[in-house]
Amino acid sequence: MGDNKYSKVRIRETDEVKQVRIASDLKPEPGSEIIEKWQSLLDLTAKIMNVPSSLIMKLNKETIEVFLKSQTDGNPYKAGGKEELIYGLYCENVIGKQDKLLVPDATKSTVWKDNNPDIDLNMVSYLGMPVNYPDGEVFGTVCVLDNKENHYSSLYEDLLNNVKQHIETDLKFLVSNQELEEKSKELKRTNEIKSKFLSIISHDMRGAVSSLDEFAKLLLSEFHKYKKEELQDKLKIIRVTTSSLYQTLQNLLNWSKNDLLHLKAHKEWIDLIHVIGGILDFLKPRIEFKELEVFTEFESDQMLVFADPNMLGTSLRNIISNAIKFTESKGKIYIRVFKKGEKTVIEIEDTGIGMDEQKVNNLFTYVQSKEDEFTSQGGAGLGLLLSKEFLDKNGATASVFSKKGQGSKFVLSI
């Protein structure tokens, strides 16, 4: 959960400095209910053991902090009080060794009698245990201190160990609850995206079927006017369109069962000339209806890339489809494929309505406020988001260059 953070503690007994992993910035903070529970545990522990001080200490990067203190008479520690990690404090030893520490009387110990801030507070005996998050990151310690010599019985050790376990169970609950909330949000987001994306593809399919139906009606009504060669060309368009529709339907059914954002790419060598040609054949009725000119330029007779054919085909079709959608009648679309070093570059450029800088910057992101944009633009934004996801899975990069009223250029490198 987030980037690792570390702190250095000094183990006084061996004069060893040890680096330990502490709570990352994304770790959840205990809420008021847990704080109240811990406070009760500290107060009860101090009362049962008859000591002036019971503490929960939290390890920070450069300090150790009194996170909570028992509300007992004679407790010299202040909540929020911090000490720098320069003394080799009791709690540093507990954290560094990840074991309990019992000091019956620090004033009689050659290890603990000198340079000890706790003695300055007249706290001469100590019993403490480490407190960690479930992933091993250090929270701190739970400990008791007394202003007189105290050997702390095994019963008291068991009591403090039970308090430690309660605290660690609460930390585990906090982390699990946070992970559950994050997964719930991600699942909700994924389901929203999947539903909308599948709706977009379904919309495109309905449009293609409708165009195919109109095309077939026209062909039947004017059947007698066509020569054999012309009929073959028209039937070829119908065959290509139906074949592409069938493949899209198969993808739709497969994707509907999966998390679109976590699909795995099944790569193979594919010829971009064949892929782009099939897309243009599929979109031909829409191209002809808007009287668009489409220019293709391929560097060689075969442009092979290693990618998932369905993912790459869907991404390219979405981008080309948007170019058609947002280019006014009799406009132009340019598709270029060429090698650049070890990469294959695909440029899709149109003379359409273009986009402003803000829209370009948000093109490959998903925010709920884009709902109106999806509706007004037929789902362009969300379709491109999933296209970007598919391209990422295939090791491809995507860049967009556009200005309002001056068209758009998509540059893909794979």
Alpha carbon 322 to its chain centroid, in Å, reads 27
| Distance set, CA 231 to CA 198, 213, 222, 234 (Å) | 34, 16, 11, 5
pLDDT digits (tens, 9 = 90+) for 348-401: 999 999 988 888 887 776 544 444 343 333 344 456 777 888 898 899 999 999
271 in helix, strand or coil? Answer: strand
Segment 281-307 shows an average pLDDT of 89
Where do runs of H (alpha helix) occur along 77-136? 90-97, 117-120
> pLDDT tens for residues 256-279?
655 555 678 899 999 999 999 988
- Report pLDDT for 374: 36
Nearest CA to 21 out of 133, 141, 163 is that of 133
Identical fold for domains 5-178 and 182-413, yes or no, is: no
Instruction: Write out pLDDT tens, residues 295-338.
Output: 999 999 999 999 999 889 988 988 998 899 899 999 999 999 99
pLDDT in tens, 49-62: 999 999 999 999 99
Q: Which residue has the higher pLDDT, 235 or 251?
A: 235
CATH number for the domain formed by residue range(s) 182-413:
3.30.565.10
pLDDT for 210 equals 72
d(CA 283, CA 327): 14
Reduced to 3 states (helix: H, G, I; strand: E, B; else coil), residue 64 is: strand
Q: Is the pTM of this model over 0.95?
A: no
The burial class, CB within 10 Å (0-12 / 13-18 / 19+), for 225 is exposed
By CB neighbour count within 10 A (0-12 exposed, 13-18 middle, 19+ buried), where does 312 fall?
buried
- The ranges assigned to domains in the chain are 5-178, 182-413
For the record, the structure tokens of 341 come out as 């070093």
CATH code for the domain defined by 5-178: 3.30.450.40
Strand partners, 311: none
> Given this model, what pLDDT does residue 368 score?
44
